[in-house]
Amino acid sequence: MSGLAQILLRQHHQVSGSDAAENANTKKLQEMGAIIHIGHDPSHIGQDFDYVVISSAISEENLELKQARTFNIPILKRHQMLAEIIRGYKTIAVSGSHGKTSTTAMMGALLTEAQYDPLIINGGIVNAFGSNVAMGLGSWCVVEGDESDGSFLNIQPIISVITNIDLEHMDFFHDQATLEKAFQQFIENTSILGCTLACLDDPLTASILARVPHHTIKTYGESEKSDICLVWLDKGITGSYFSVKTKTKQYDKLFLPMMGKHNVLNSLAVIGAAEFLGLGEDVIRETLKNFQGVQRRFTVRGAINNAVFVDDYAHHPREIASVIKSARQYGATKIIAVVEPHRYSRVQALFDEYPPALDMADEVILVPLHSAFEEPIPGINSAAIAERLKQSHILIDSLEELIEQINLRLDPGTVFLFMGAGKISKWCASAVEKCSV
């Protein structure tokens, strides 16, 4: 939402908005000229407004939304406004259950390195330009396609990317068949003059690819059947060295300053896009070598007594497992996962997957579940997850209690992994500030 607001402000539209709490995005928008309200109140909506744009997180009971309806103001979902903004651009759309934010950032870095001067609209803050939007003046746009509410189906891309497909957002899709059909439609919405890049290693993705043979599809992954194949990987403390073989070329000893095989696999989509666009090997190498990543994607926030605090957006068990694996590669002597489960519906749907993922850590600290406006589901909470864990674990209810527990565990070589999509990032920052040896 903040990214769309930035673009509209730079296009000289008048923008106002409200959020539950002040944050870096609201402050930036104020500096750019937006009228920002903290908290929701009907008085924030004027009869002279042209449009009201809402995110999928906004309830029908929201007071401002009700007021907009009273005034008969046209109401647009976020994806509808996004579609209007990118109308006329040649678009690369990146979707998938995991990794799409980082992959979108890498795609944006590729087109920037190639001097395409793209418009970039991402779901996370990209470190290279300190925002989730880069206002390029070229004819290309790179956008993160959000599948959570089906909104990625409003994009008509030249190049589409599917990183993977998991049983995510089942509160919207309800069943696997509907989820698969949506991703199939995403591919079919791609221009027949363009291509779809998809990870063949992912079972659900692979099964969908077979259903759309009339589209140009380039696969990537570790599978030897992939068009863009990872053939060698060496993990280091500063990042990953790897080699890739495509149908026309081999790229030896590429470097990506990120840990985790999942990040390397995501970068294969960038190589596929570069080849499709006819970009040279030097552009690919420079893009990957200089990639600065995305905030809250294994972001090191600080260290106390040589214990490291890492902030990450991971909230799905598969993502949590990937982050823990990356921390092992980081060289952690002990990993303490500080986890904020996300959404009652997600935890219910994936309940059996949380324990094995969390048990990969040496110890688990569970904070209260982040509801994201959902109504509670009986028996679904952090305590229910804790009961299934084999590793050492504790439950805490407040930031003060968390800091107290962390202070007891500040040993050199320990990595604290703060993972979740709600307040956990702020708690990580507070822990760095307030914890002491």
Active site residues: 100-101, 144
Q: Are 118 and 136 in contact (CB under 8 A)?
A: yes
Which of 198, 415, 404, 434 minimizes the C-alpha distance to 312?
Answer: 415
Q: Are 351 and 173 in contact (CB under 8 A)?
A: no
Q: Is 234 helix (H, G, I), strand (E, B) or coil?
A: strand
| CA-to-CA separations, 288 to 125, 130, 271, 342, in angstroms, rounded | 18, 18, 9, 31
By CB atoms closer than 10 A (0-12, 13-18, 19+), residue 20 is: exposed
| CA neighbours closer than 13 Å in the CB half-sphere of residue 373 | 10
Which of 434, 23, 104 minimizes the C-alpha distance to 297?
Answer: 104
Q: How many CB atoms are closer than 10 A to CB 237?
A: 8
Q: Are 294 and 329 in contact (CB under 8 A)?
A: no
Tell how strand 239-246 and strand 250-256 pair up. antiparallel
Which of 369, 366, 320, 365 minimizes the C-alpha distance to 344?
Answer: 369
User: And the tokens for 191?
Assistant: 């221009």
Q: In what side-by-side order are the strands of the sheet with 392-395? A: 299-304, 307-312, 414-419, 334-339, 363-366, 392-395
Task: Give the amino acid at 234.
Answer: D
Q: Are 99 and 124 in contact (CB under 8 A)?
A: no
Strand partners, 144: 94
Tell how strand 90-95 and strand 119-126 pair up. unpaired
Distance, CA of 174 to chain centre: 22
